[in-house]
Structure 1
Amino acid sequence: MTTMDVEEQLQRMNLTSLDQLGVAMQSQPSQRENLREDQIENSEGGYVWAVNDLNRVRRFLILGTTGGSFYASEKTLTMENAKALIDIIEKGNGALILREIVEISLDGRAPNQNSTLFALALCARSRNHNF
């Protein structure tokens, strides 16, 4: 990046110098600050917006939990997602889960079917068969 490119970028951000950029960056809140009441604490002590159970399940069906994440182990993520699945099924919304499983699977949105098969097994095991 040339000096001219940097100057153009600063102008777009309404800044005149790199010093102003440093001040602007320092004034940004930290992730460890709870900015709004609807934020929750994540596993590393930062604050994030909560994801509802259905969105959590969609992420699980598409991405799975293989290898875990930087912040949580594969086992922890799988258990959290299983709990979200079970909660939805027990509330009588198993048909919604089945619909998501079929759509994600048939659309080829998941790189593998491990999570979809796991979710399908939880649906089959459920005592609530109002699908």
Structure 2
Amino acid sequence: MVDALAGINLRRTPQGRRADARQVANNAGGYGFTVTPAARLHRFLTLGVDSGTYYTSASELAADNAQVVLDAAGADATELVRTVVEVSTSGRAPRQNPAVFALAAASALGDVDGRRAAFAALPQVCRTGTHLFLFARYREQFAGWGRGLVARSPVGTWIPAWSAWSTSW
């Protein structure tokens, strides 16, 4: 005889069913708890998106995380810059690419104060020439370069120094 009540268990929940009403569906077909946009931004700045996961390709994961950065740049670019500088200067991230990407987004998509904060933070985040050229590449993905932008921003102070170095050898 089969016991129909043996399948009811409050201590174990299958992955395909919610254990809590606050859970949402995830990419694995199960359920998990949501995180705040600030937590997602911090994860992106710390971990980056070099590769995908078993359930999500790298391009899908990058697009999802980039949208978090773009939303933060549009909502409060100054706070985004503060977070970028905090993560970058504390040495918590193994690579600078996510921080440079977020800084470029803030410099192009933020309000006037956010753009100023992004350019003021440029020397703190882009500490090498490689970082600066990466910033320039990401910046072009969001907005163009005007003559005044190159001449009057911290980027303009890097170019003459690099130019003198590269022609000396």
Tell me if both proteins adopt one fold, taking TM over 0.5 as the criterion. yes
Aligned residue among 106, 110, 113 for 2:93: 110
For the residues of structure 1 that align with 2:68 and 2:112, how far apart are their CA atoms?
Answer: 17
1:26-47 alpha-carbon deviations (Å, 9 max, x no partner): x511222112221110112110
Structure richer in helix, relative to its length = 2
1:42-84 alpha-carbon deviations (Å, 9 max, x no partner): 1121100011111111000000010112221111111111111
What RMSD in Å do the two structures reach over aligned CA positions?
1.9
1:92-115 alpha-carbon deviations (Å, 9 max, x no partner): x21111111101111100001011
- Alignment of 1:47 onto 2:31: yes
User: Do the aligned residues in 2 keep the contact of 1:53 with 1:85 (CA within 8 Å)?
Assistant: no
The total of aligned residue pairs comes to 106
Q: More relative contact order in 1 or in 2 (CA 8 Å, sep 6+)? A: 1
Q: CA deviation at 1:127?
A: 4.9
Q: 1:105 to 1:45 in 2, by over 3 A?
A: same
- Aligned partner of 1:124 in structure 2 is 107
Q: Give 5+ residue unaligned stretches, structure 2.
A: 1-8, 115-169
Task: Letter of the 1:110 partner, please give it.
Answer: A
Q: Secondary structure at the match of 1:77?
A: helix
Q: Give 5+ residue unaligned stretches, structure 1.
A: 1-24
User: Do the aligned residues in 2 keep the contact of 1:34 with 1:47 (CA within 8 Å)?
Assistant: yes
- Alignment of 1:100 onto 2:83: yes
Aligned residue among 79, 82, 97 for 2:63: 79
- Aligned partner of 1:5 in structure 2 is none
For the residues of structure 2 that align with 1:42 and 1:129, how far apart are their CA atoms?
Answer: 37
